[in-house]
Structure 1
Amino acid sequence: MHDEVPVETTPAAEIEVETFDFEDDGTVPNNPELPVVLMRAALGQGGASASVERHLQNNGWGGTWTWRVFDYHHFHPNAHEVLAVARGQAVLALGGPSGARVEIRAGDVVVLPAGTGHKQIEASDDFEICGAYPPGQEGYETIRADGPHDGAVADRIAAVARPATCPVHGADGPLMRVWGEGSGSA
């Protein structure tokens, strides 16, 4: 697009980073090794969804989409996922039914390690969120957390490779400081 305005990012050292650790609750396995990483206002005040998607792609994350988050608890056993808020605000349930309620708004970026439960509880009318995945993880599976999960799912989660880049600031981003360098299994 000729009129696409790049997203203005907050400098990596100035991003407020929050982390969340969740246990397996029987319906949602979560990730025993990696925390959820929430980067407040990492993308400034957000922006057009096409610009947010392009920014994620430029930092090595693909399979981008723009929509909302499903309104039921679910997780991806074979992929890490980034959720970047382009516009509006929402409340998400992270970690499954016994997890945490987290408010997110335009510019916030949430990175969910494989296995992490998530659900949209409420959202403003203008809410748009962009999702993306590390290379090789774009063919993600979605599992509804509506009953006990298969115990073998833990092995699948453990086999998911860590990303090589942060979706906001590439190799030097906050995600790399929290999760470490991407080069193998989680």
Structure 2
Amino acid sequence: MLQLSENHISHLRNFNGRYTTEMANSRSDIIIEKYRIPRYERIPNTSLHGIPLIHYKSAFPKSTDAGKIGDVLRTNSWTPSWRYTMYTDSHFHSTTHEALVVISGAAKILLGGDDNPDAVTITANTGDAMFMPAGVAHRLLEDIGGRGEGFTMVGAYPVGGEEWDMCYGRGGEEGVDEKVKGVGGVEVQDPVSGGVLGGGE
């Protein structure tokens, strides 16, 4: 497993972004973990654009409803598109980045692909957010805190990049690397802070 080094962790207050009034948590309460995961077989992960996967711990108070979370995402130029859990099959998107905000439950999530020695496992809790760059494989490993609706997220995509595909790192998936490179070359706003991500961040 890829070990998380100190330079992967920072407080959101160090970001040069703006913060919306709907986010009741103070900046110092939001912890960011960044992961750059190397390519594994047919899964690009972050190797083609260098943009890290970002896990924002406690981005929103646990009591924040999905509507307000959607307002924050829209303010930061992301379009909320669905509310659901995460698929248990490892998959990635080659045509767009993805933002995920946990609105109920908790889960262990595998990043980087099954059997990948550099894969990362994170625990995502209610109120956490994730920026999932194009090309990064992810899947639900274990629902560990399901109550009521169980582990549920709001999924969103950058304005202009709302069309997503489903890739699994299998044969027959054409032009994946070129698509991921193309997405990585376009600046995108941070879904939580509104700052700019892109080009190696």
Give the TM-score band, short-chain normalised. Answer: 0.7 to 0.9
Shift of 1:149: 7.0
Counterpart residue identity of residue 167, structure 2: I
Q: 2:10 maps to what in 1?
A: none
Aligned mate of 1:94, from 90, 104, 111? 111
Comparing 23-32 with 80-89, which one deviates more in the overlay?
23-32
Comparing 24-33 with 66-75, which one deviates more in the overlay?
24-33
Q: Alpha-carbon deviations, 1:35-69, whole Å to 9, x = none?
A: 10111101122532233223212221014211011
CA RMSD in angstroms, aligned pairs only = 2.3
Is 2:156 the partner of 1:136? no
CA distance in 2, matches of 1:46, 1:138: 27
Instruction: Identify unmatched segments of 5+ residues in structure 2.
Output: 1-20
> What TM-score does the superposition give when structure 2 sets the normalisation length?
0.75
The aligned runs of 1:1-186 (5 Å cut-off) are 7-32=22-47, 33-45=50-62, 47-97=64-114, 98=116, 99-123=119-143, 124-125=145-146, 126-145=150-169, 147-148=170-171, 150=173, 152-160=175-183, 161-163=186-188, 165-171=189-195, 176=196, 179=197
Q: 2:12 maps to what in 1?
A: none
Give aligned pairs, total.
170
Q: Alpha-carbon deviations, 1:149-175, whole Å to 9, x = none?
A: 757322211111231x2212223xxxx
CA distance in 1, matches of 2:96, 2:200: 11
CA distance in 1, matches of 2:29, 2:22: 16
The answer to whether the 8 Å contact 1:77/1:157 transfers is yes
CA distance in 2, matches of 1:103, 1:78: 26
CA distance in 2, matches of 1:8, 1:87: 17
CA distance in 2, matches of 1:10, 1:149: 45
For residue 100 of structure 2, give the secondary structure of its aligned residue in structure 1.
strand
Counterpart residue identity of residue 95, structure 2: N
CA distance in 1, matches of 2:76, 2:90: 28
Q: Sequence identity of aligned pairs in percent?
A: 25
> What TM-score does the superposition give when structure 1 sets the normalisation length?
0.81
With over 3 angstroms needed to count, the CA separation of the structure-2 counterparts of 1:47 and 1:63, relative to structure 1, is closer
Q: Which runs of 4+ in 1 moved over 3 A?
A: 6-9, 11-14, 148-152
